[in-house]
Structure 1
Amino acid sequence: MSIRHRYLIALPLALVVLAVAILVVWRTPASSPPGPPAERYAKALRQAHAGLPGAARVLYQQLQRDDLTPIRRAALYNELPNYPSPQALKLAKQDLEHGDPLVRRAAIASIRRLLPPAQRSLVLGPLLEDEEQSVRFAAVDALMGLDPDAIGLYFRPLQSALEQYQQALEQQPDDAQAQTHLARLYLHERDFPSAEAALARSLRLAPQDPDALATQVRLLEAMDRHDASREVLAQALALRPDSAFLQYELGLWLLRHGQREYALLALSRAVELEPDNADYRYTLAITLHDLEQVEAAQKQLENLLDRQPANRRARVQLIRYWKETGQLQNVQVLLAELERQNPDDPYLQQGL
């Protein structure tokens, strides 16, 4: 397998492939109707994705099977973080030793969302020395940003795998995505000259790539060139004022610079342009709450849950906001729905 291919499948964005896999398994050709096991798999995946009652149970049952193809097994991990429990973590940890790298990478991505940073390195640290390069790189992505205390004994393996990652990406100078990701890795290390060089290569190949522009903004901010970072966003938005991504990035920039009222306008515009984007709407809700617009924040989270009932992050946050305002009947409704989805969810142990 070429370095280029290994890199591409190692990127977090490769999880998009899993979403495609979900659609594939839902649509079995009429000329070859699925047997009962395949039907149960597709039903479980739909049930988990829609947040229906019993979703966690059927999802765990499918992960306990040993006859799934790697791509079908990996697709299950795209849903698992919405259904945390000791059983969920146990299943994901077991698949860190799966024979197929695709499954190991999917399990890494799932555990990244299941565990808080302080616990993540103990579980994922050993994967930094996995025999498969793409798995090592996926582990690096999952552990980036943790402080040295959280990384603990895996500090040296992380540095070694990170250097391998950077070297592999350096060998892809004509790949814009590779160079953008390389710039982010160098930015994390605060190696600004190397980050600038990688980003320049990326922007030369794809001058208007939104991800590269967002990385450029973060790099300029890290270098204390805040006016320049704002100008990059302003120029990009002048060319594409209807880009939800750029409006969202503007909102984040304004939040980082303490301008929450103006950020609210940009985030609202991003949600208007892309109403089904969970991250955009969730950030808007948090910002509204921070500005003491609690009812508006609640409505945004309600809207998000109407669109994505399985979204546990939004559900838990809405429960917290309703607790703050004493709307305990609404809290009980959401907790009851959560219990039907996943009776072993740790949040249920907190009660009212």
Structure 2
Amino acid sequence: MSRRHHLLIALLLLILVPGVLSYMWRPQQTPAPTLPPHSYAKALRQAHDGLPGAARVLYQQLQRDDLQPIRRAALYAELPNYPSPQALKLARLDLEHDDPMVRRAAIASIRRLVPAAQRSLVLGPLLEDDEQSVRFAAVDALLGLDPDAIGLYFGPFQEALENYQQTLEQHQDDAKAQVHLAHLYMHEQAYEQANDALQRSLALAPEGLDALAAQVHLLEQQGQQDASRQVLAKALAIRPDSAFLQYQLGLWLTRHQQQEYALLALSRAVELEPDNSDYRYTLAVTLHQLDQVQAAQQQLETLLNHQPANRRARVLLIQYWKETGQLQNVQVLLAELEQQNPDDPALQQGL
């Protein structure tokens, strides 16, 4: 090899080696932090089980912009157990989400997060949403409020309600749709139309429990107390082991100031369906009304043992413990609540 070639090789090495070494020694850029694939499932489980830090991870997931709509909507089923200004802010942002499923889920969550008197201010604009199903979800969330509570949105509410009724009238072969239609008519005290809808539902599904419950309420609203009781009695004679019907009987008796008898029906409902949180919560409230405070506390404790995230039961049990002066138990429940959600309004208000 000639001297010239040696010089060329040496020159190339002088040029290339520093560049290679510089590349090798260059500090590697730290990739942008990403959430592990399992973080969504982990956060959802943490919120559902009421574990420490549940609110924080739930909020973090709702701040993501890469979740599929169905996953995002599932988060809103858990959010009402973790109220805070941040929770409401996140839910309000998703009232403008591109996917109607997410908007409907946010509406359902806000329905439980916001007091009735303030609900129309948040959800009123959704009565004029471009998507029909979202407008109907807003109607459902505002149903039961009086005109004063609906306020400036009463006009859009009435328009959406009428459209809702017209749409459900077109589904007379759907038993559930007809029950829902009956509730819409009952809101307006349109009792004849409500009864027609329920009769259509019962013709399609004679043993439909939701239709039977709605029929009881419809008769009560018209002052037909004996007839409403007979509907329940007839249904229970056929299905005495129906937890739902026992629960409805308990509610009926409570509405008619017969708590002692309601207690029997509610206890039977819990016995038949022990994992139903609504049944057990209502039983606890009824026990407390009858001055059976210790028994009421035990029912709420059982509920929380199975559903630690159930904020409604936790807050009520704190109140019951306070009434009996058992402050150590109060502190335990408050500490657990703070671990779940340090921004919970109950903590901020010094419950």
With the length of structure 2 as denominator, give the TM-score of the two structures: 0.90
Q: 1:168 to 1:37 in 2, by over 3 A?
A: farther
d(CA) in 2 for partners of 1:79 and 1:37?
A: 21
d(CA) in 2 for partners of 1:246 and 1:181?
A: 19
Instruction: Say if 2:126 is the partner of 1:109.
Output: no
Q: Deviation of residue 150 (structure 1)? A: 1.2
Q: Kindly provide the amino acid, as one letter, of the partner of residue 116 in structure 2.
A: P
Instruction: Say if 2:34 is the partner of 1:39.
Output: no
In structure 2, the residue corresponding to 1:242 is in which secondary structure? coil
Instruction: Say if 2:195 is the partner of 1:192.
Output: no
Q: Kindly provide the amino acid, as one letter, of the partner of residue 129 in structure 2.
A: D
Map 1:264-303 to 2 at 5 A.
264-303=263-302
Q: Deviation of residue 36 (structure 1)? A: 5.1
Q: Deviation of residue 341 (structure 1)? A: 0.2
Unmatched 5+ stretches in structure 1: 1-34
Deviates further, 146-155 or 66-75: 146-155
Q: CA deviation digits over 1:248-273, x for unaligned, max 9? A: 00000000111000000000000000
In structure 2, the residue corresponding to 1:38 is in which secondary structure? coil
In structure 2, the residue corresponding to 1:279 is in which secondary structure? helix
Instruction: Say if 2:261 is the partner of 1:243.
Output: no
Q: Kindly provide the amino acid, as one letter, of the partner of residue 293 in structure 1.
A: Q
d(CA) in 1 for partners of 2:172 and 2:271?
A: 37
Instruction: Say if 2:134 is the partner of 1:135.
Output: yes
Give 1:62's aligned residue.
Answer: 61
Give 2:16's aligned residue.
Answer: none
Q: Kindly provide the amino acid, as one letter, of the partner of residue 68 in structure 1.
A: L
Q: CA deviation digits over 1:285-324, x for unaligned, max 9? A: 0000000000000000000000100000000000000111
Q: Deviation of residue 148 (structure 1)? A: 1.5
Give 2:316's aligned residue.
Answer: 317
In structure 1, the residue corresponding to 2:199 is in which secondary structure? helix
Percent identical among aligned pairs is 79
d(CA) in 2 for partners of 1:225 and 1:351?
A: 45
Q: Kindly provide the amino acid, as one letter, of the partner of residue 112 in structure 1.
A: R
d(CA) in 1 for partners of 2:219 and 2:344?
A: 41
Q: Kindly provide the amino acid, as one letter, of the partner of residue 43 in structure 2.
A: A
Q: Deviation of residue 94 (structure 1)? A: 0.1
Q: Deviation of residue 38 (structure 1)? A: 2.9
Unmatched 5+ stretches in structure 2: 1-33
Q: CA deviation digits over 1:165-192, x for unaligned, max 9? A: 0000000011000001000110111000
| Runs of 4+ in structure 1 over 4 Å off | none
d(CA) in 2 for partners of 1:90 and 1:38?
A: 26
With the length of structure 1 as denominator, give the TM-score of the two structures: 0.89
Q: Kindly provide the amino acid, as one letter, of the partner of residue 66 in structure 1.
A: D
Q: Deviation of residue 149 (structure 1)? A: 1.5
Give 2:3's aligned residue.
Answer: none
d(CA) in 2 for partners of 1:273 and 1:129?
A: 43
d(CA) in 2 for partners of 1:258 and 1:149?
A: 29
Give 2:6's aligned residue.
Answer: none
d(CA) in 1 for partners of 2:304 and 2:189?
A: 38
Give 1:214's aligned residue.
Answer: 213
Give 2:88's aligned residue.
Answer: 89
d(CA) in 1 for partners of 2:91 and 2:97?
A: 10
d(CA) in 1 for partners of 2:327 and 2:204?
A: 54
Give 2:346's aligned residue.
Answer: 347
Q: CA deviation digits over 1:177-231, x for unaligned, max 9? A: 0001000110111000100111110000001100000000000111111111111
